[in-house]
Amino acid sequence: MIRLNENYLKLQSSYLFSDIDKRVAAFKREHPDREIIKLGIGDVTRALPKACIEAFHKAVDEMASDATFRGYGPEQGYDFLREKVAEYDFRRRGAEVDADEVFISDGAKCDTGNFQELFADDITIAVPDPVYPVYVDTNVMAGRTGNFSNGRYQGFVYLDCTRENGFVPGVPDAHVDCIYLCYPNNPTGAVATKAQLRQWVDYARQEKALILFDAAYAAFVCDESLPQSIYEIEGAREVAVEFRSYSKTAGFTGTRCAYTVVPKNCLAYDSGGAAYPLHRFWNRRHTTKFNGVSYPVQRAAEAIYLGDGPRQLREITDYYMANAAMIRGRMTKLGYVCTGGSNAPYLWIDAKTDSWNFFDLLLQKAGVVCTPGAGFGKCGEGYVRISAFNNPTRVSLALDRITKVLGG
């Protein structure tokens, strides 16, 4: 008899985006002539930078000739890309990372989801609330939690992100073994300062814990005093793994390229307390279960760091950040308290009513779609997420309509 992994039965269906789609479809049926503007999207809207496209094309042409064709590449990624990552994303910002500590992959979703495979099944895990659901669900699948009750899985330590703590929770009183952090944050747009990250690094060192740091939105940090990488914090190499992605920063959501940094001196322990470098185990896992990102895609990613690439990338992030500033400015003027939107492409808005009420109000009265915060966790109730991934004309039109409805 083929038996199920019954942990899958504990999973809650994510109704968030299908609920949104249902309500939007119903609205369209009732008002076929009303045009809807979507400010709920977690996907980019701009095309790949020209530099990436040129490198992509050139690499595809190399595949067309026996002399330059490439078959299986190194599972960890080509050195040409790993070296650029180490140099431009880390060392130039004063963070020590070597090329052989960078594992190129097809997505930060897979990497943040898969990394937990390296750990024992009875470790204690802290997750933020609201949360990017991948951290939670992959640990539920692995059997590290009890059942779902009252909006939460038993067994996790939830880190409440609230207005009081500025949506950047502090370290827990209790011991935990593993902590998921994401800054700049999806969905709240909050960014941790160096002092706040230092507290986490100190905590992890003291507790022999590990921080899984999701920096998928690092490129949106404009304020030079804010950290883009956890390795900007002293001592972080021993206690932190960092995930990055080209998805949101370079428009690679459909092209697929990301990477994970596992420093060679980052440790985990066996039941007898003996220490092992995690690098060895992630390398083993990655080379066993993954066969590398395609050569043309890695060349396209490399182009981000070369010639006119950095400027083209900046132009695209500036474009989204101008939308974010416009949303932030106008919602604030209307009397709404907003987080994010200055070093992150998301705004987290205190709805002054429940999440779905506010969602329905914007949809029905303004024809604008946002994302109800309650869909990201218990602490998301009372908030909505508005995304800056759209074009400025549409954003401006959406804000005009919202102003008519909420401006009294």
Ligand X SMILES: *Cc1c(COP(=O)(O)O)cnc(C)c1O
Among 78, 119, 132, 156, binds ligand X (CB under 6 A): 132
Among 138, 139, 186, 260, binds ligand X (CB under 6 A): 186
Per DSSP, the residues of 11-22 read PPP--HHHHHHH
Eight-class DSSP state of 394: H
Give backbone dihedrals phi and psi of 387, rounded to 5 degrees, phi first: -105, 150
Q: How many CB atoms lie within 10 A of CB 173?
A: 6
Report the alpha-carbon distance of residue 112 to residue 116 in Å, rounded. Answer: 8
Measured from the CB atom, the residue of 321 and 366 that comes closer to ligand X is 321
CB 45 within 8 A of CB 248: no
Closest CA to 124 of 157, 163, 85: 157
Is 137 a residue that touches ligand X (CB under 6 A)? no
Of residues 187-226, which lie at the interface with ligand X (CB under 6 A)?
214, 216
- Minimum gap (Å) between residue 216 Cβ and ligand X: 4
Parallel, antiparallel, or unpaired: how do β-strands 210-214 and 240-245 relate?
A: parallel
Q: How many CB atoms lie within 10 A of CB 2?
A: 3
The binding track of 96-125 with respect to ligand X, each residue x by CB under 6 A or -, is -----------xxx----------------
Q: How many CB atoms lie within 10 A of CB 281?
A: 15
Amino acid code (one letter) for 146: G
Is 373 a residue that touches ligand X (CB under 6 A)? no
The binding track of 138-177 with respect to ligand X, each residue x by CB under 6 A or -, is ----------------------------------------
Is 248 a residue that touches ligand X (CB under 6 A)? yes
Q: By beta-carbon distance, which residue lies closest to ligand X?
A: 107
CB 374 within 8 A of CB 15: no
Which of the stretches 26-34, 148-156, 247-255, 301-309 binds ligand X when contact is defined by CB under 6 A? 247-255
Measured from the CB atom, the residue of 35 and 43 that comes closer to ligand X is 43
Is 385 a residue that touches ligand X (CB under 6 A)? no
Is 324 a residue that touches ligand X (CB under 6 A)? no
Q: How many CB atoms lie within 10 A of CB 43?
A: 11
CB 50 within 8 A of CB 312: yes
Measured from the CB atom, the residue of 389 and 402 that comes closer to ligand X is 389
Measured from the CB atom, the residue of 328 and 385 that comes closer to ligand X is 385
Which residues form the interface with ligand X (CB under 6 A)? 107-109, 132, 182, 186, 214, 216, 245, 247-248, 253, 258
